[in-house]
């Protein structure tokens, strides 16, 4: 994650945007006591999808249970190309 000032960001906006898109590198832009974070659209969409999935307690429980099952080897592999 990179950090910069608003003044430096304005002067080098293309480079910062390229870095965020090409390197998946977030940029914190400080402006006095406030700050914002610049992230790629793909990263934003991923965060929003996670937020949506975790907004349902039932879905959150199912996802966490699935992750635990995978860790324990409690799963069955399926060849989706054969379906």
Residue 30 binned pLDDT confidence (cut-offs 50, 70, 90): very high
Q: What is the mean pLDDT of residues 19-45?
A: 95
| Domain assignments of the chain as residue spans, ordered by start | 2-39, 42-73
List all residues 6 or more positions away from 12 whose beta carbon is below 8 Å from its beta carbon.
4
Region 2-39: CATH code: 3.40.1620.10
| pTM (two decimals) | 0.67
User: Are 53 and 45 within 8 A, CB to CB?
Assistant: no
Say what percent of the chain tops pLDDT 70: 100
**Whole-number average pLDDT of the chain:** 93
Matching residue, tokens 């054969």:
82
Summarised one tens digit per residue, pLDDT across range 35-65 is 999 999 999 999 999 999 888 999 889 989 9
Distance of CA 31 to the CA centre of its chain: 23
Q: In 10 A of CB 16, how many CB atoms?
A: 19
Cα–Cα distance measured from residue 55 to residue 40, given in angstroms and rounded to the nearest whole number: 23
**pLDDT for res 60:** 85
């Amino acid at each position: 994650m990179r950090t910069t000032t608003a003044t430096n960001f304005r002067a080098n906006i293309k480079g910062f945007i390229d870095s965020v898109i090409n390197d998946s590198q977030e940029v914190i832009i400080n402006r006095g006591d406030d700050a914002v974070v610049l992230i790629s659209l793909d990263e934003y969409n991923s965060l929003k999808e996670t937020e949506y999935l975790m907004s349902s307690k039932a879905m959150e429980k199912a996802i966490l249970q699935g992750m635990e099952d995978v860790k324990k080897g409690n799963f069955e592999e399926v060849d989706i190309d054969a379906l």
